[in-house]
Structure 1
């Protein structure tokens, strides 16, 4: 997410490699005081995190936010489950898709927008190994074409 007034803090690069991203949602995230301070310092990691709809709410699991350095005994637990803030109709749509069609909810990035922490949540379907190999072949071919064009312009 790169727009006016946004600052990307962490990205889940592996998500686009492992999944076909069908749809993307911008969600808010409910954080405690020491958590938002650590997030603003960029001490957040999305590796192996995922979201799940539980009791009509979207919950984010395994997102690591490092403890705040100046925090006291009330500091937060680094990998606690956090609530994502979405509209009711969006949540109902996600419930139907994740139950029936085999989709997963994967956080793609976390960023600050107007002082608020936001999570870019992708509705994803898992890739097979041959899909991953195809993507790597396409990426390599594009890299070769760009290199050839660059060399042609120089010479």
Structure 2
């Protein structure tokens, strides 16, 4: 078999594979970003309902393993803690944050600044990775596909 024909087949194969990989990567990151967006919307809805009975106080981040644990003191000088299912390097141990707790149930608290910040970072990260790597893979896929077609046509000459 003609070596140019073999090269053409290889380039076309890898071009198509790279382009399809880019599509799968882009779609995967789109759905991941969409899921994060849905969670952000859910958290915003919970916050809307929660803030009617919320009291603001200062809290301190005491642990960032397995989420973020924050201790806060209520108006009655009772110490409570809340563990968020998110963590961010922007909020290290010892950092002070605003905690909103339910005046009827002080153990129920929210820290929207950490939740919103973390979800915003995740959303941008997933979108950026999908766009950058998907775009690069898609570009190289198209280049290899075109090169394979050109080499294939020249091998017929």
TM-score by length of 2: 0.28
TM-score for the superposition, normalised by structure 1: 0.29
Higher strand share: 1
- More contact order relative to length (CA 8 Å, sep ≥ 6): 2
Larger radius of gyration: 2
